[in-house]
Structure 1
Amino acid sequence: MALKVEHELHNRRRGRNWGVGLLLLALIGIVFGLTVVKVLGLSDITQMERFDHVARPQLEPGALEAAEKRAAEQAAQRAAEEGEP
């Protein structure tokens, strides 16, 4: 006499568990594959810096010079206002 008798329900659950496990592995594989493609596809690291939604002058050509020019103009304007009574 067998001490462990498996019911039909156990076989169906085992099949479903294998299916869910394979789906999870497939999802992990897809995410890993997309990550590898994205990392290897970057030719310039500044492309990745664009996705953090922070303004960085070094990313925009001419932005740093424009900011320095604006600061100089504001300083000159403040100096002119202070010099006048």
Structure 2
Amino acid sequence: MAIKVEHEIHGRRKGRNMGVGLLLLGMIGIVFGLTVVKVLGLTDIRQMEKFDHVARPQLEPGALEAAEQRAAEVAAEAEANQ
């Protein structure tokens, strides 16, 4: 027969560890829930691409045509100045 003596400090540590573990699981659950809600709330994947704070002409209708037109105007001005 084995004698197992557990000091009361082990019980307190176990209780604290369980509390920290539950808090960690709660935080993970909140982040996961927010992620699921955000992904399911998107109707168009292009909405997600707009949050990178970089000008991307493929996201704006007519922007590519305007850029090509401006490039042609600049080329014409450069040609005229030569």
Q: Same fold (TM over 0.5)?
A: yes
Supply the distance in 1 between the matched residues of 2:57 and 2:5 (Cα, whole angstroms).
71
Supply the distance in 2 between the matched residues of 1:45 and 1:54 (Cα, whole angstroms).
16
Structure 1 unaligned regions, length at least 5: none
Question: Which stretches of structure 1, 4 residues or longer, exceed 4 Å deviation after superposition?
Answer: none
Q: Once the two structures are aligned, what percentage of the paired residues are identical? A: 79
Supply the distance in 1 between the matched residues of 2:78 and 2:27 (Cα, whole angstroms).
59
User: How far did residue 58 of structure 1 move?
Assistant: 1.9
Structure 2 unaligned regions, length at least 5: none
Q: Supply the RMSD in Å over aligned alpha carbons.
A: 1.5
Aligned residues: 82
- Quote the residue 1:28 is aligned against: 28
Superposition TM-score, scaled by structure 1 size: 0.86
Supply the distance in 2 between the matched residues of 1:11 and 1:79 (Cα, whole angstroms).
84
Deviations 1:5-64 (A, max 9, x none): 111111111000000000000000001001111111110111100112221012223322
Superposition TM-score, scaled by structure 2 size: 0.88
**SS at structure 2 position matched to 1:4:** coil
